[in-house]
Structure 1
């Protein structure tokens, strides 16, 4: 990972916090960052973790990253294990592997008995152990620790020291800040100090020798499907003559876990050979002429969301070492949406907009009323409700928790996932409302003189609901962070924006609702195809703009 001419302002136009930073982060390196209070250490670590994007300059070769903030919030409606499973999935792990990793790291930090304890009931030290577990269970290529030892007991601090050594030994790069000058004293390969908004090399040494590795030869069933998430991200080679024979090469620290994963896999692998090798072989070169090297387990994983000012292509010999297979973007987005939906459901913030929607339908929709009028009314009511729900989803995470999520998946993708979650919840609510209207309303015109065809009317109503939900999502996105941070201004803007979207000429939502109401006068069904297409364009544009700003401005 390389930083060139990187600078960062407070906000979009505020004073410079950092400027003119140049930094190379080799693989297999422990880096300490020093500096006085207010020097910008946390800002630098957020830039390295991908939580923020630089105001100027470039960041290239961003690897898979995990971040531990200085203060991890307890105000999350999950148990410790439940939160870790969600974050493990956001990091790209299967649910079973995330659960196993959560159990292992909580046990290592002496917090196993708190796995089923709600985060809000944990002490500061135990909350910090959860923050460490979410970063370490992912086995990232870049681990960023911002005062991560703060609040830990002596046993947990020693365990974190060992965990850092293990991460470096397997090929990761660890960058840390700590107020104790003796923290990992003598272990750091490079020490940098922030002075006058820039970075000065206090001490730098060549990357350490990775040391010996262990080579495991095993036989599986044909075809030899690799178990998911093998520990240590081993190099994998298939035998050219027998595809069931596979050679795994990993660090000595991960060899026992890799052996256990192979023999306990379903179906299990048969171990045929075990040997120690002095140094890692190049990933594209085989050790014998009868083997064909493959790299699905060692290929560098590109940044899932590079963000502004970031180039995704990794630089040679930088932080892009042994890594898991590239995470499919759709799978990461689904994991983020699952996390956001669980956060919304458990927090019960959904209750107020739901009651508003139900009350509005109860007042404005009656049995026997004209169908198109009722569908138009239910679509119009859904717009401000959608804006409210989206605003809740965007702002529901505490800042430190949001930084952890942004580091794991990228700030832009995390923001888009929150928008999609809010839109999905609103669409489900709107579909339920439309179903109720279809059941109790009469398929007739306003004056009960003309029969209205039910299927076209239902199609028109559902499209109007989709149109209003999309416009409402755009209003909610524009009236929340990263554009508006103060709750008071955000609430006022949401109310005014929803009102304007319903009454302003040219608004897709007004066009769709007006088409239903005016069609009810004559009994003519007007399917709002053009307003729906316009609403899609508006929603996609707003989502793209706000997601990009989310990486620039917290």
Structure 2
């Protein structure tokens, strides 16, 4: 992943927060970002994760990404495992695999007993464990941690340290910010300090802590895996060219063992011992490489050999049993898009915020639709009621998620895809309710003209009513999308604009919704059914255009 000339403003025209950032993030890399409070560390992490787009410059090569915020919201109407399964499916995992990994990671962080507990009932520490688990269960290529250790107990912090080492050993890039300078001390491959709106590389300090010596044997002529954690000192055994002795810091030992036993072909660990801390020696090299470190050889290519890693006395048992899984493609996949829409719909359904628009829609139908009334008049009235319903539901779906949870989704699939899923969820709910209302009208209305002198064909009338409902739902959804974030962020303005927008859609000449309703009502005067194909086409164009516009804006203004 590469950043070139990246900058970010406060808002569209505000002052610069960051500017002129150049950063290369290769695989097998752990990067620490330092800086004083308020200098833009979280803003940088959000750009790295793809939550915010840079105001200038460009980011290329972003792999599949997961993000852990500092404070994870508990205002989500799911159980811990239910939320993790949704997030696993958003990342593209099948449902069964997502459930298995959710249970696995909850157990690793000591939260297995809370799997069926609603998120709203969890403590801050346990909810943070859920936040970390959602990022790790999909094995991302880029893991971004913004004060992720905050609120975790000692055991969970150690588990997160091991998980970070595993991700780096498996080839991922991990970027983190933490207020504790001791966090992963000695482990980062690189450290950068944020000052004066830009990044400055920090020369790594020599690590004079305890050392661990690992003796391992690999297949004849096999090269060591590339990018070994901790840049270990390498010594070859001349009588046995397949044997190697690696010396690294204690902080890197678990990750190094994991990299050796999971390599293809694997290396068999034959010895493990702890060495005393070395005497401090000044290092004259700016890249921080220890004197005497043998350059890592380029790995030879060849067929991978299937082998089971051997258990090693003193090695981390979790590191020895975790096998790398096949890499998944980056970016939102069709399965993930459908899963995200289901997640947004479930979020709306479980929050019960749908109840108010449903009661309003039912009240409007109850007042305006009576048994025995002319069919086309009632269908037009019911279709018109779908406009405010769709606008309200879309607004709810776009704004219902807490910002931290929305950022987690945006890192997984991108803010544009996340916004589109909200629009689809709101539109789908509006169509379901509007279709049910149209069905009720068809059952109780009389298929006659307004003056009851002409019969109205039932099947064409049903088709016209359903298409008019679809037309009104699309137009209302477009109005709701334009009256919510990212166009309008303030709640009061957004609510007032939604009401005004729904009314304008119904009364403005040229509106597809008004045209569809007018076709039904005017057709009722003569008993002639008009299929609103042209208004439907116009509504589809408007809805698609608004969806593209607001989705693009979501990537710029989140």
1:325 is displaced (CA, Å) by 4.2
1:70 is displaced (CA, Å) by 1.0
Larger mean CA deviation between 453-462 and 34-43 belongs to: 453-462
Structure 2 counterpart of 1:508: 512
Tell me, yes or no, if structure 1 residue 174 matches structure 2 residue 174: yes
Q: Is the 8 A contact 2:33 2:192 kept in 1?
A: yes
> Structure 1 residues 488 and 280 mapped into 2: Cα distance closer, same or farther (>3 Å)?
farther
Larger mean CA deviation between 7-16 and 71-80 belongs to: 7-16
Structure 2 counterpart of 1:253: 258
Residues 37-76 of structure 1 aligned to structure 2 (within 5 Å): 37-76=37-76
Structure 2: tracts of 5 or more residues without a match: 206-214, 220-255, 270-295, 306-324
Q: Distance in 1 between matches of 2:216 and 2:357?
A: 59
Q: Is the 8 A contact 2:169 2:259 kept in 1?
A: no
> Structure 1 residues 91 and 532 mapped into 2: Cα distance closer, same or farther (>3 Å)?
same
1:33 is displaced (CA, Å) by 0.1
Structure 1: tracts of 5 or more residues without a match: 206-210, 216-250, 259-272, 292-320
SS at 1:26's partner residue?
coil
Q: Is the 8 A contact 2:261 2:267 kept in 1?
A: no
Higher RCO structure (Cα 8 Å, ≥6 apart): 1
SS at 1:499's partner residue?
helix
Q: Is the 8 A contact 1:8 1:55 kept in 2?
A: yes
Residues 263-412 of structure 1 aligned to structure 2 (within 5 Å): 276=267, 285-287=301-303, 323-325=327-329, 329-412=333-416
1:326 is displaced (CA, Å) by 5.4
Q: Distance in 2 between matches of 1:322 and 1:485?
A: 41
> Structure 1 residues 421 and 256 mapped into 2: Cα distance closer, same or farther (>3 Å)?
farther
1:440 is displaced (CA, Å) by 0.7
Structure of greater Rg? 2
Structure 2 counterpart of 1:546: 550
Q: Is the 8 A contact 1:212 1:280 kept in 2?
A: no
Q: Is the 8 A contact 1:143 1:175 kept in 2?
A: yes
SS at 2:20's partner residue?
strand
Q: Distance in 2 between matches of 1:257 and 1:516?
A: 68
> Structure 1 residues 139 and 521 mapped into 2: Cα distance closer, same or farther (>3 Å)?
same
Q: Distance in 2 between matches of 1:400 and 1:178?
A: 17
Q: Is the 8 A contact 1:383 1:469 kept in 2?
A: yes
Q: Distance in 2 between matches of 1:214 and 1:42?
A: 43
Q: Distance in 2 between matches of 1:3 and 1:438?
A: 59
> Structure 1 residues 330 and 512 mapped into 2: Cα distance closer, same or farther (>3 Å)?
same
Tell me, yes or no, if structure 1 residue 186 matches structure 2 residue 186: yes
Tell me, yes or no, if structure 1 residue 196 matches structure 2 residue 182: no
Question: Which 4+ runs in 1 deviate beyond 3 A?
Answer: 211-215, 251-258, 273-283, 285-288, 325-328
Structure 2 counterpart of 1:527: 531
Structure 2 counterpart of 1:242: none
1:281 is displaced (CA, Å) by 8.8
Question: Normalization by structure 1: what TM-score?
Answer: 0.81
Q: Distance in 1 between matches of 2:475 and 2:191?
A: 50
Structure 2 counterpart of 1:220: none
Q: Is the 8 A contact 2:147 2:178 kept in 1?
A: yes
Q: How many residues align?
A: 469
Residues 222-241 of structure 1 aligned to structure 2 (within 5 Å): none
> Structure 1 residues 192 and 515 mapped into 2: Cα distance closer, same or farther (>3 Å)?
same
1:255 is displaced (CA, Å) by 9.8
CA RMSD of aligned residues (A): 2.6
